[in-house]
Structure 1
Amino acid sequence: MKNKKLTPREKRQRRDNAAVTCESIGLDPVVYNAALSYLFDRPASDKSGQEWYWDIEEPAFEATPLQWTHIQTVLFTNAGTDLAPYSDDQVGIGLNHVMSNNAGDIPHMVNDPSVPLADAMRMVQALPSLWRECLGPRLDTGPSPIGSRSDRLYFVSYMWFDVWPTFWNAKDIPEWRDAMWQVFCEMLAMPWREAQVSALHGIGHEGSRLNRPKELKAHMDAFIRQLKNDDELKNYAQAAARGMVQ
């Protein structure tokens, strides 16, 4: 794994994110630690190859929508340290349960009317840290064609904004559109290629819903111009700018 130099902006973001703790947002640390164990302290798969959350006898984790929103805020912010004890497969499976509604309602929790908009926005603003501190470094294992890997951790990173229903449910709320735009901008500015790929995948699917076509075009043009010696990423960015990604 490479150690990449942080930009001044990334250093400021890291300092800001360091202030997000259970105590700072009013989340009981006992609840947070129980959620970590529930999501990640699991075998990679059972004998059939199924993920643990498909077990019909698996008890649900009891938390309110606001608690789940706070859990995700702290998790995204501190993913580099809090997920360090777990393997790539454990992290991939647990995060898949967080991002997808195929076997649960976690990604819908922040959309619940009981969750204040300010808390929802704080969760979304923490999302880039998941790539900055965890997914980006973990996936920085050498070049591979975009979309070619089949491991669980890569799937989560590559497909997050494709299968994550949360923004779709909130796409008509201006604050959500602004927050998602900032998420994509932060991820494109990261030194991690897989963070950039994930953002481009998201822009390809959600760019038209951000309601800022001129700003998006200018940002994408600038991103493409600065790419050197990576024709695949440049071509993918050009396709994303046209809304043509898989």
Structure 2
Amino acid sequence: MKAKKLTARERRANRKETPVSCESINLDPAVYSAALRYLFDRPVPDKSGQEWYWLIDEPEFNATPLQWTHIQTVLFANAGTDLAPYSDEQVGMGLNHVMSNNAGDIPHMVNDPSVPLADAMRMMRALPTLWRDCLGPRLDTGPSPIGSRSDRLYFVSYMWFDVWPTFWNAKDIPEWRDAMWQVFCEMLTMPFRAAQESALHGIGHEGVRLGRPKELQAHMDAFIRQVKHDDELKNYAQAAARGMVQ
């Protein structure tokens, strides 16, 4: 009897990937530890102060685009444990510097031509774990209106796919579109409202660029059907499916 051909989803489910660590991707652990200190071991400014990365005399972290890609990969995959020593405000500051190009080029590093596509895709596969193990649990402190919180950690979670230039730079590459879609799908299955809000916000901005309108609508319809006792999230998902979010 001829074996049944696996669907793409079944192949992904059966694929086992080595746990991400410095050793598994040939990243010097000393470089990774230094990057963690550079990004997160920082004082939180008072209301009249500025974050450390706006300081003119702040030295840049010396790493190649490939090293920064590997640093982000290990960070995303291990954020639950590696960021545990830092406060929510410190994590919010550091991740803001990772996601935004306002004060640096970290989010552009993975788009550099010197970075192999396989390394970029490994980083993307690690990205949802940032919400599953770190942002989601930290922000799971009770309901609040979508987009209403002003703390640094919530800003990073909610605004990531609005501010993050990485996918925009790679939106014409099919593998990147597929990877971005998988990130959103995985985040929508998480038991954390903050992760779902972030994914919906991202879909609202980037959904049209994913190149799968029917699949996107079907997935959003299924998500909306399973949301219970949360009309705000349902309405937000409906708006995201139409690209009507801010």
Superposition TM-score, scaled by structure 2 size = 0.93
What RMSD in Å do the two structures reach over aligned CA positions?
Answer: 1.7
Q: What CA distance in whole angstroms lies between the structure 2 residues aligned with 1:39 and 1:164?
A: 17
Whether the 8 Å CA contact 1:18–1:77 is kept in 2: the answer is no
Counterpart position of 1:208: 208
Counterpart position of 1:235: 235
Q: What CA distance in whole angstroms lies between the structure 2 residues aligned with 1:46 and 1:152?
A: 13
- The 5 A counterparts of 1:35-74 are 35-45=35-45, 48-74=48-74
Q: What CA distance in whole angstroms lies between the structure 2 residues aligned with 1:219 and 1:47?
A: 42
Q: What CA distance in whole angstroms lies between the structure 1 residues aligned with 2:45 and 2:123?
A: 29
Counterpart position of 2:107: 107
Shift of 1:48: 3.4
Whether the 8 Å CA contact 1:21–1:74 is kept in 2: the answer is yes
Amino acid of the residue matched to residue 139 of structure 1?
L
Q: Bigger shift: 95-104 or 38-47?
A: 38-47
Counterpart position of 1:223: 223
Counterpart position of 1:116: 116
Report sequence identity in percent.
86
Structure number with bigger Rg: 2
Whether the 8 Å CA contact 2:18–2:24 is kept in 1: the answer is no
Shift of 1:217: 0.5
Count of matched residue positions in the alignment of Structure 1 and Structure 2: 235
Task: Please list every run of at least 4 consecutive aligned residues from structure 1 whose deviation after the TM superposition is greater than 3 angstroms.
Answer: none
Q: Bigger shift: 211-220 or 47-56?
A: 47-56
- The 5 A counterparts of 1:9-158 are 19-45=19-45, 48-158=48-158
- The 5 A counterparts of 1:1-16 are none
Superposition TM-score, scaled by structure 1 size = 0.93
Shift of 1:18: 7.1
Q: What CA distance in whole angstroms lies between the structure 2 residues aligned with 1:141 and 1:49?
A: 27
Classify 1:91/1:138 alpha carbon distance in 2 versus 1 (closer, same or farther; 3 Å).
same
Whether the 8 Å CA contact 1:77–1:130 is kept in 2: the answer is yes
Q: What CA distance in whole angstroms lies between the structure 1 residues aligned with 2:47 and 2:29?
A: 33
Shift of 1:128: 0.1
Shift of 1:203: 0.1
Q: What CA distance in whole angstroms lies between the structure 2 residues aligned with 1:147 and 1:80?
A: 23
Classify 1:207/1:158 alpha carbon distance in 2 versus 1 (closer, same or farther; 3 Å).
same
2:103 match: secondary structure: coil
Q: What CA distance in whole angstroms lies between the structure 1 residues aligned with 2:45 and 2:34?
A: 20
**Which whole-Å deviations, capped at 9, do the CAs of 1:62-90 have from their partners, x for residues lacking one?**
00000000000000000000000000000
Amino acid of the residue matched to residue 56 of structure 2?
I
Amino acid of the residue matched to residue 153 of structure 1?
L
Classify 1:18/1:196 alpha carbon distance in 2 versus 1 (closer, same or farther; 3 Å).
farther
Unaligned runs of 5+ in 2: 1-11
Amino acid of the residue matched to residue 159 of structure 2?
M
Unaligned runs of 5+ in 1: 1-11
Q: What CA distance in whole angstroms lies between the structure 2 residues aligned with 1:62 and 1:121?
A: 23
Q: What CA distance in whole angstroms lies between the structure 2 residues aligned with 1:94 and 1:214?
A: 37
Q: What CA distance in whole angstroms lies between the structure 2 residues aligned with 1:113 and 1:92?
A: 29
Whether the 8 Å CA contact 1:40–1:91 is kept in 2: the answer is yes
Q: What CA distance in whole angstroms lies between the structure 2 residues aligned with 1:107 and 1:84?
A: 23
Shift of 1:46: 5.8
Shift of 1:44: 1.1
